[in-house]
Amino acid sequence: MEFDWNILRSGEQTIFRLRGLYEKYGYRRFKMSKFEEYDLYIRNKDFLVSDRMITFTDARGVLMALKPDVTLSIVKNTREKEPGPRKVYYNEAIYRTNKGDDTFQEIMQTGLECIGDLDLYHIYEVLSLAVQSLAAISPDYVLDVSHMGLVSGFMEAAGVSQADYPTVLEAVREKNAAALRAFCQEKGMSGTVSALLEKLVNTYGPIQSVLEELAPLCVGGKKTREAWEELNSICQLLKANGLGDKVCLDFSVEGGMDYYSGIVFRGFIKNLSAGVLSGGQYDKMVEKMGKRCGAMGFAIYLDELERLHAGQPAWDADVLVRYDDKTDLTALTGKMAQLAAAGKKALARKETDGLRVRETIDMRGGAQA
C-alpha cells in the first residue's frame, strides 16, 4: 500500500523530505541530548536568540540547561582536523523564549551544519541546500542573502568607527534610512559618504542585477572586492543550476559581527511574515570556541510552518462507522481493518458528536456493512 503523506502534519512531512535531500549530499544525522552545561550557552549568549534558559543542577552539582540552540552543541562536539568537512543535519527540539515574550516554548527545528576547511564549493552547497529546502516547502519562497564583508567594507569606506557599528547596523536591519541620515549628519559625513551608507538600507532585488549595480562601489577596498567576487561566484553557480531566480540581495539580513563572517541569509514563505529559515557562515563563533576551522549552516523553524497550515481541516475522517451494543464486534473490527488497509481514515463511534466525514457506514442493530 502506498504511504499516505496526508496523515502527517506539515512539519513532519517537511522533516521527511528534507532528511532525504540532505542525505543525498552526504549529511549524516546528528542526535544530541536535551541539555548541555549552562556555561556553554552563557559564554556564547550573544549568538542566541534569547539568553533566558531553563536550568537545573544535576547530581554532580553542575548547572545544566535545556538546550536553546543546536549549533553550539554540534561545534562543541566537532574535532579539529577531521578528514573533510563534517556534514551533519538534525531534527531537534529547542527550548527558549522569543523576543518580547516571557513564555518558554518547545520549538522544533531541522537544519544542517558544514564544519571544517570550507572552500567555495562548500559555501555554494549550503546555500543551494537552503534554496532547495525552501522549494521543498513551498514554490512561493524567497531567500534573502547578505555578506558581512560588504557590510563592514562599506562602513570602513565611509569612515564609521567600530564603536558606531551597532548604530549603523540597527538602522540597516530596520531599513531605517531616516535614522541613518541623522547619524551621518551628527557625524558630519559628506553627502557622498551618506549615499554610500544608504546603499546598505536601500539595496534590494534579484542578486545578479544588484551585484551588477554595486560593482563600481566594490573595486576600491580589498574587503568589499573579495566579498563581491565571492557573492558573484555563488550567484553564477546558482544560476547555472537553476536555483537563482528567487535569491535576492538584502543587507538588512544581518548576523552579529562578533560571530558571523561571510554570507548570511534568511528564507521566507508566502503568507508567513516571519522568516522560516536562517543561516550563514559563523567562523568567528567557532574561533571563539577554540576551533580553527570554518563553519556554515542553517535552521528551519518548523513551528512557523505549522502556522501556515493552521486552518481546520475540511474533514475529521474519510469514513464514520456507526455501531451500538447490538453490533457484532468481529464484524466491526474486521470492517475497520478493511478500511485501514484501503488507506482510509476511519472512526468508529456510537455518537457522531458533530463529526464531519465524507462517508458513513451504519452497523447498528447488527447490520452488516
Virtual torsion, Cα 137, 139, 141, 145, nearest 10 deg: 90
Point out the least confidently predicted range of 219-223, 227-231, 334-338: 219-223
| Rounded average pLDDT over 80-92 | 84
What's the pLDDT band for 119 if we cut at 50, 70, 90? Answer: very high
| Rounded average pLDDT over 69-74 | 87
Residue 267 is classified by DSSP as E
pLDDT score for 141:
94
Cα 307 → chain centroid = 15
Residue type, 17: R
| Rounded average pLDDT over 178-205 | 89
pLDDT score for 28:
93
pLDDT score for 59:
87
| Rounded average pLDDT over 306-326 | 76
pLDDT score for 69:
86
- Would the pLDDT of 5 be above 50? no
pLDDT score for 83:
74
| Rounded average pLDDT over 122-138 | 94
pLDDT score for 10:
54
With a pLDDT cut of 70, the percent of the chain lying above it is 93
pLDDT score for 266:
95
What's the pLDDT band for 100 if we cut at 50, 70, 90? Answer: low
**H or E, element range at 211:** helix 207-214
| Rounded average pLDDT over 191-213 | 90
SS3 of residue 264 by DSSP: strand
Residue type, 269: I
Beta bridge partners of 2: none
Beta carbons of 296 and 123 less than 8 angstroms apart: yes
- Would the pLDDT of 70 be above 60? yes
pLDDT score for 309:
58
Cell of 287: 574561533
- Would the pLDDT of 8 be above 60? no
Q: How far apart are CA 280 and CA 123, in angstroms?
A: 9
Q: How far apart are CA 110 and CA 11, in angstroms?
A: 10
Cell of 301: 523553524
Q: What is the mean pLDDT of the chain?
A: 86
SS (H, E, C) 120-173: HHHHHHHHHHHHHHHHHHCCCEEEEEEEHHHHHHHHHHCCCCHHHHHHHHHHHH
**H or E, element range at 196:** helix 191-202
